[in-house]
Each structure stands twice: as structure tokens, then as C-alpha cells.
A and B are shown apart, each in its own frame.
Chain A
Amino acid sequence: MATDALGEERPTLFLRKATGLVRGWSVRDSMIYACLSTNVITLGLVEFAYQDAFPAGQLLTAVLVSGVWVSFLVLAYSGLVVTIPRAGGDYVWQSRILGSGLGFVMAATGWWFILWLWAPIYGSVLSEEFFQPLWVAFNDPSGAAWFATHTGTFVVTLITIAVAGLLVSLGMSGYARVQKWCFYGGLLGFAIIVILLLAFSRNDFISAFNNETAKLFGMKNGYAGTIADAGSKSIGYTPAPFGVAGTFSQSMLLVPMLMFYLLWPNWGTTLYGEIRGASDFKRVFSGMFFGLWTTVALSVVLLLLFAKTFGFNFYQDANALWIDNAYSLPSAHALPIFPYPVLLASWLVNNQVFQVILLLLMSLWFFAWVGTLFLSSTRVIFAAAFDRILPDGAAQVSEKRRVPVWSLVLMLLPAIGLAALYSYNSTFHTYTLDATLVIAVTYLFSAIAVVILPWRKPDLWAASPASRLKLLGVPVVPAAGVVTIGLIGYCLYEWLSNNAYGVNNNDSLIYMGAMYVLALVIYLAARVIRSRQGIDLSLINKEIPVE
């Protein structure tokens, strides 16, 4: 038995020896998970490359505004975690607070179907940040360029899907250990890049860039040519000068874009289990909050150093030329591969071994992150099968090897199909932000759930440590839910009304709409089929009267 004096001399509660009484999560572990989910290297650097959609916007301003805004989402989700601390996250919260049907549709679309699209996005990142730069470092530019072709992207995506599927099959135990060391290795790589960009001057970089691009791609005067090409009539791109000034409204338009990497500090909330006690809110919140702000801090450091050593205009011009080149608007100084800042920084040291080591170290950011691709999908498929919405087989685990065979099939096969579309259909490629939008919609309903929680489940709310948090008499967690609704509402408005995000077109809307229809059809079909089998699915979340 144990006692807890909560800082006083006399005990305020007694615990007897019983199963499940464990210490709280390590804040450091959940911080690492949140930081890896909002991954500045894999997702952030790729998204920074698309800033040319809003040339007068300031990335620095947008990153900071996004960080503050997403912090409210962290507050809202922390409230849900400590109030209904069940593994299952959005599915459990929405099912209990908003109803089973809505819970299933939002969880199936946001944590399962849309992950099919994330698979080729992960594959693209692996191609752009691992295979392409590594082949360049090996002095094989044509090999590197192959990885940027349709087939190259598709093959790398298949590799990614196979790796992520294998990790689900083998379980997370071994991977979680590797994941932590990958994070530390990635930080070491990050530190080396910081030192390089601090130690070398702009002129050093110009010289290194010109030498390497001449040697590898036959470019002449690559640095100046990049700036000239971007500003040419055909491309017509002039980025805003670096800083926090500039057009605030344009910077705000970058916020929905940056959600591609900053919206995920709560990715681990599907994993949280039995948590209780006032201090646990702080612990849950701290893990996600500091993970998010570590990412924001790393982003700011990178942008400042890019501006100092690469020159911000050059950095954005190189990105703009690369994107235009990919969409059939070639120019003489467009790099045939992703202008991966790590590769650019590695060129500052004229040593092939060093370059390869740095690229490998930074690839750990990817390998620490890839294992989570299908993890949440498995959980949603299992939960839906246990709720009898999917056939029993969907949750079946092979007796000998404990591999969830059918859930893997339900994840991997559609992902392979979408990978082919993403790789070979350049229009489909522009739907990348659909992957963010659909999950944001799921978050939106969780935010609505947290706002109405005190009214829908007053007893549950009263017993929650989250209900004690008040500011000027206003409960902080539901208020944070309102701000989160504002964030997602704003992003949805921009995504769906502004063509620059690539989301607002008929095919994209049909693609996303089809996912919601599919989820709804599955749910309604399950209701009918189970009813015929004598199983009433409406009972699942009906509360038994107490008195």
C-alpha cells in the first residue's frame, strides 16, 4: 500500500496494492513522440518548399502563428485524454460524446482511409530526402534523378509501405527503442547542420553550390542563375525578404499550408491509456506542448540559418524552380532533384564521406517517423471490428505469428493503389493537402466534442482534472476547443476556397467526398447486416440508467 500526501504532512489518499497502479508517462518520451510527429525535417522542409504559392507571405511569421494556434489544440486534446483516458483517441471520444455513427465516419476517414494517401507522401519524402541526395553524394546524378521519376517515386513508396507494414507485423517493441535513438541521432545531425551554417559564410556556400552543381548537373554559375531564373518572366517568382514583417494576410495564408507538419503534436493520443490525477493533465499537456514547440524552435533556427548562409531568396528560388520543373515549367538552373537543405549544407564540406554520414544521420528523422504510418489505422480497424461495424476477421491476429493479416490487407492494398495514382498522375499529386484536410475534419469534431463535453457528460466532466482549469472563471479546455474550431474552420475555409492549396478542385473534392461516403456506407450497411443477425449496433454507446 502507498500513501500520497500531495505535498502535505498528512496523507490525503491511500492506495492499496493493486494491478495497474503505474507511474505517469515520461514527459520526455511523449515529447519525443510529439516532436517526431510534427517532423520539421521530413514534412517541414518539404512544405517550406511550397512557399512560392504565397510569395508575399513570411514563413517565420506563419510558423510562429501556427505554433501558438496549434497550442490550443494541444490544450483541448489534453482535456480529452485526461477525461476519457482510453486508448483509441478520436474514435472513442467522438463515439461517446457525439454518437457511434459520427465517431466511426470521422475515425475511418481521418485515421484509416486518408492514411492510404499518406503512404505515397511518406514515400515521396523518402525519395526526396534519402535516395535522391544519397545518390547525388555518391556522384550519380542520373541515378538520383531516377528516384524523382514516376517509377522511382512509386518504387520508393512500395518500399515505404513494406517497411511500415512490416513494423506493424513485428510490433512496436523493438521499433520504439530504435525510434528514440533515431531521434537522438537526428538531433546530432541537426546540430552538425547548425554548426555548418553558422561557421560558413554566404560566399562559402555560393562557391560550394556553384562547384557541386557544375560537377553534378553541368550548371554554370548555379547560385546566381537560380535567382535569375526564378525572377525571369516565365517563372516570375520574387519571394518576400526574410523577416517577420511583410504582408501579414499573406503570412496567414501560409498557416493552412504549414498544418501539413504542425497539426500533429497530438498524434500519440490514440496511445494513451489509464491516466488519472490532477498532475496528469500537466504531464500530458507538457509532452505534446514541448514537442510542438521543439519543432517550432527547430523550424525557426533552420529558417534563420538558411537566410544567413544560403540567402533566403536563393533558398526559396531554388524551391520554386524545382516545383515548376516538376510541373513541366523547366528552367536552366532548376535542380532535377529536391533542393534538400541538408544536401545543400553538406556541400559546404568538400568530403564525400562526411556528406554521406550527414545525410544518413538526418535520414534518422524519417526512420524514426515511418513506423507510425499505419499504427493508428490498425487500432481503428480493430476497434471498428470489435464494435461489429467491420467483420470479425478484420481484427483477427494469426495465432502463431500474431500478425493482423486482414487489417494489414485493408491498409496496404489501397495504399499501393493510391501510390500508383500519386506517382504517375501529376494531377493527383496536387491533392497532397487532402491528407491534412481530412484529418483536420476529424480533429474538428473532437474539438466540438470537447466544447460540448461539460453539457453532454456533466458527471464525467465534473470528475475530470481538466474541469478544474479555469481562467477568469472560464473553463480553459472547452475554451481551447473553441479556438481549435477557429483554427480548423479557418484552414478549411482557405483550403476549400483558395485554389493555391491544390485542394479546391472537383477531382480532389470527389476523392475526399468518396471517402466519407464509403465510411458512411460501411456504417449503415453494418447496421442493417448486424440487425438481420440479431445484433443491435445502436446499443454500443447507449448509457445504462444509473438509478
Chain B
Amino acid sequence: MKMFFATDIHGSEICWKKFLNAAAFYKADLVVLGGDVTGKVMVPIVAHHGYWEVTVRGERLRLDSREELLKVEQQLRDRGSYPAIVTSEELDQLSTQDAIDQRFNDEMTHSLDRWLDMADGKLRGGAIPCILNGGNDDIFEIDPILESAPSVTFAEGKVIDLAGSGFTMISMGYTNPTPWDTHREAPEEELAARIDAVAARVPDMNRTVFNFHAPPYGTGLDEAPELDASMRPTHGGAVMKPVGSTAVREAILKYQPPLSVHGHIHESRGVAKLGRTRTVNPGSSYGDGVLQAALIDINPKNGKVKYVLVNG
């Protein structure tokens, strides 16, 4: 069984399109997106009479035609930003936290709807299995949208059969607490309880894949730049420290599945062994429009795992 695993595309439309094409490109049996699907940035495009104004990478642009507008919108989407077309009055109204939150949520959910429409075509209406999960940066409003999409399977807390291979996957998008106080964070004890609850329903742990957004602590898959109190990397970014989950680490050591896939820490692309388990974090480079991923081949007979990390 050949699985394509990517994660943390953070709203990058170019990465989403690549993800949808990955099964055909790599001849994979199924594709999995490990969380943090939605973007972090919304860029207002102010509509005036006959033209639009937007600031992109610090440069103020005047767009005089719809073609120019569409081009800039696509550039923003490709890099993970949400273009929000607003009037001057609407922009003025985005002055309260609630108003900004609401507009952000609207843009995220609309964008996800569009993405799922694309998926219907590319994945041949579900003929190519596609598993999606939320990550700590994803709002909860996306869960029902993913749940109701015909061509993808929303993975959180479920035991999912992997393309009739005899393998199953269990998933958790929650992470241990971060300095940013994001949406799906929980204390380590709660993470352990969540994992135990879903692991109890697994028929055969030797034929199970863990898909946990948080990487296991202290494996090298969880090294992030150390930050000071003002959220600035210390020592020019030279000092990295492990920020993964101890609950995920303990669960892997306790259950020892053949494979455990992770994301969350973009700069910690790598592979590590934890006991008998092969743990993988393909990292993320969504801002460059590169879809970092792991192409993983699991032998259904003996459970042996082969992998290659790709920059698609």
C-alpha cells in the first residue's frame, strides 16, 4: 500500500492542488493530509469605483482590471493568504476582534468549500481515498464541512480502514499547548486520554498507522527555534529546542505501531525510530508553494515500511 502523506499546507492553494494531483503523480493508493489545512493571513482588497487597491508584501498595488484582480487573488491564495474583497466601509468595520474573527472564518470556510469542490473532480468522487484532519491551527467550524464532503474522509478520533489494505489509521489533530494558544490544544494528560480512547478500538496495533498532528517529544521531529518572551527567536535562530508532545511519545512507545506520521513543526522535516515504530514528519514549505510530503510504502504482508521524503 502506497500512501502519500502531507501536512500543514496552511491555506496554500498551490499546495492543495498539488496534493490532489499527488496520487496520480506518485501512483499512490491513498492521500492523507495531516492537519493545519487553513491559512493564517487575510489580505483586504479594497474595491473602489473601477479599480481595487491591495498591499502585497509591503507594496501598494492599484488593480485597474478584473484580470489583474484575479491574478493577484490567485497569487495570494497560492501562498496561503485569503484575499478579502471589501469596500472602504467594510474595511472600517473590521476594527473589532469579533468582526475580524467573523470575516476570517467566512473566508476560511468559503475557501475550504471551493477546495472540496476541486477535490470531487480530482479524486474522481472518492475513488482515490483521501483522508483529511484538522490541526491545532484549524478552527472547529471546518469539521462539519469536512465531515459532509463526499470525496474526503474526516479523520479526527476515528479508526479508518486504509484502502482495503488491512491497515487502519487513527488520528488526532490536537497538540500540546503552544505559545500561541491555538484552537486545538490540550494538556498532555488529555492528549493521552484521547489517544487511549481511539487506540482501544483498533483491531490490530501491528497493522495500524498513527496520524497525530503533534510530533513525539525529543525525536528530532519536533525541533523549533527557541523563542524569547517577545516571541523572537533567540541567538539568531541558532538554538532549537524540542516542543513535541510527551503524550504522543508515550503512546507510540506503549502501542508500537509500525508507522506514525506527524506535522506541526514545519522546520523539523525528518524520520526517527521510536522503539519499533518509524515516525515521520515531512515538514512544510507551503509558503514557497512546495508540497513537502512523505511517500510511504507499507508492505501489507509483513508491515515493513519504506519511505522517501519528497518536495513536490
Give A contacts to B, CB under 8 Å.
1, 3, 6, 10-26, 29-30, 32-33, 83-87, 95-96, 171-173, 176-177, 179-180, 268, 271-274, 276-279, 287, 382, 386-388, 392, 395-397, 399, 402, 459-460, 462-463, 465, 468, 530, 533-537, 539-547
How far is B279's CA from A396's CA once the two chains are assembled, in angstroms?
A: 12
Q: Is the CB of B180 within 8 A of A273?
A: no
Residue of B nearest to A468 (CB): B59
Enumerate chain B residues within 8 angstroms of A543, measured Cβ to Cβ: 18, 290, 311-312
A101 to B180 CA separation, bound complex (whole angstroms) = 39
Could you give, for residues 74-95 of chain B, a 1 whenever the CB lies within 8 Å of some chain A CB and a 0 otherwise?
0100110100000000011010
B267 at the interface (CB under 8 A from A): yes
Give Cα A69 to B214, complex, Å: 45
Whether A271 pairs with B266 at a CB distance below 8 angstroms is no
Q: How far is the CA of A3 from the CA of B10 in the complex (A)?
A: 18
* Stretch of B97-105, B125-133, B153-161 at the chain-chain interface: B97-105
Q: Which residues of B contact A388 (CB under 8 A)?
A: 307-309
How far apart are B144's CB and chain A's nearest CB, in angstroms?
20
Taking A14-B41, A173-B239, A392-B271 as contacts, is the C-beta distance between A545 and B21 under 8 angstroms? Answer: yes
Interface size, B (range)? 35 or more
Most A CB atoms within 10 A — which of B58, B218, B269?
A: B58
Interface string of B275-309 (1 = CB under 8 A from A): 00000000001011111000101000000001111
CB contact between B239 and one of A15, A17, A30, A176 (< 8 Å): that residue: A176
- CB contacts (< 8 Å) of B137 on chain A: these are 18-19
B41 touches A15 (CB 8 A): yes
Query: Which residues of the partner chain A approach B21 to less than 8 Å between Cβ atoms?
Result: 544-546
Bound Cα distance A45, B75 (Å): 50
Additional A-B contact list (19), CB under 8 Å, known A23-B230, A386-B270: A1-B97, A12-B54, A14-B43, A14-B104, A18-B40, A20-B180, A84-B285, A85-B287, A96-B290, A268-B237, A272-B237, A274-B287, A276-B287, A386-B269, A463-B78, A463-B289, A465-B58, A540-B308, A542-B25
15 CB contacts below 8 A, A to B, read A1-B97, A1-B101, A1-B104, A6-B55, A12-B54, A14-B42, A20-B266, A96-B290, A173-B241, A273-B233, A396-B272, A463-B57, A540-B310, A543-B312, A544-B312
A33 contact set on B, CB distance < 8 A: 236, 238
* Docked complex: B10-60 residues within 8 A CB-CB of A: 10, 14, 17-18, 21-22, 25-26, 36, 40-44, 54-55, 57-60
CB distance from A35 to the nearest CB of B (A): 11
Binds A, one of B163-171, B196-204, B220-228, B254-262: B220-228
List the A residue with the shortest CB-CB distance to B103: A14
Q: How far in angstroms is the closest Cβ of chain B from A469? A: 11
The main secondary structure of chain A at its interface with chain B is: loop
Q: How distant is the Cα of A83 from the Cα of B235 in the complex, in angstroms?
A: 22
B67 interface residue, CB < 8 Å from A?
A: no
Residues of A within 8 A of B110 (CB): none
Bound: A543/B83 CA distance, A: 26
Residue of A nearest to B294 (CB): A386
A170 CB, nearest partner CB in chain B, Å: 12
* Residues in B neighbouring A24, C-beta threshold 8 A: 232
Q: A13-B44, A23-B231, A546-B18 are in contact. Are A539 and B26 (CB under 8 A)?
A: yes
Q: A13-B41, A29-B236, A176-B239 are in contact. Are A18 and B218 (CB under 8 A)?
A: no
Distance in Å: Cβ of B77 to nearest Cβ of chain A:
12
